[in-house]
Amino acid sequence: MAEDLSSLQQIQGLVKWFDPTKGFGFVVSDLGGPDILLHVNVLRNFGQSSVADGTRVEIVTHRTDRGVQAVEVLAIHPPEREESPVLSDFADFDLSDLTSKPLVPARVKWFNKGKGFGFANIFGRSEDVFLHVEVLRQSGLADLQPGEALAVRVIDGKRGQMAAEVQAWEAALLDSNQDS
């Protein structure tokens, strides 16, 4: 039986909440209506395992007997960066200096949301890069899984290398193509 594509709709909205442990969350459409189920598998197809509450998303939805569900994530727009630095390590950096750093591909070594930090490995480099939960939130993420692929902007912080921004893996590819 062919899928009925007439119920597919592209919408924009805000993540109401998302729990990576439960594997789902909900989006509130800018157009109103019922909450939209966002399953972790749909998010993983976009290259992420979590998304922070309040993050703006663009998704394709499908109406089913059980409600409206996201079937594809088209874009995730992290919250606007705050003028004041999110961590004291960034206090000496100008925002334009942070955003001018290249996005480099990395893989999560480990991350503990309860402790509020973790580490990643940049491809081709031996040193670990510190990941802070506040940087994740500012980047529109809520949690990370070991082995998850990321794109990060790295600075030399007070305690060594740390991520100043985290994005989906594909962002590093797009960033490197724009530089060429």
The SS3 assignment for 175 reads helix
> Has residue 1 got a pLDDT over 80?
no
User: Do residues 56 and 139 both lie within one domain?
Assistant: no
Report d(CA 7, CA 12) in Å as an integer. Answer: 16
Our count of domains for the chain comes to 2
pLDDT at 131: 93
User: Do residues 92 and 160 both lie within one domain?
Assistant: yes
Amino acid symbol at 116: G
State pLDDT tens for residues 140-151. Answer: 888 888 988 888
The burial class, CB within 10 Å (0-12 / 13-18 / 19+), for 33 is: middle
- Within a domain: 82: no
User: Do residues 54 and 104 both lie within one domain?
Assistant: no
pLDDT at 47: 81
State the pTM of this model. 0.67
Tell me the average pLDDT across 171-175: 58
User: Do residues 94 and 170 both lie within one domain?
Assistant: yes
User: Do residues 95 and 157 both lie within one domain?
Assistant: yes
Which domain CATH number covers 169?
2.40.50.140
Rounded to the nearest integer, the mean pLDDT of the chain is 82
C-beta of residue 77 within 8 angstroms of C-beta of residue 57: yes
State pLDDT tens for residues 48-89. Answer: 888 888 889 999 999 988 899 999 999 888 766 555 445 555
User: Do residues 65 and 93 both lie within one domain?
Assistant: no
Q: Which domain holds residue 95?
A: 88-179
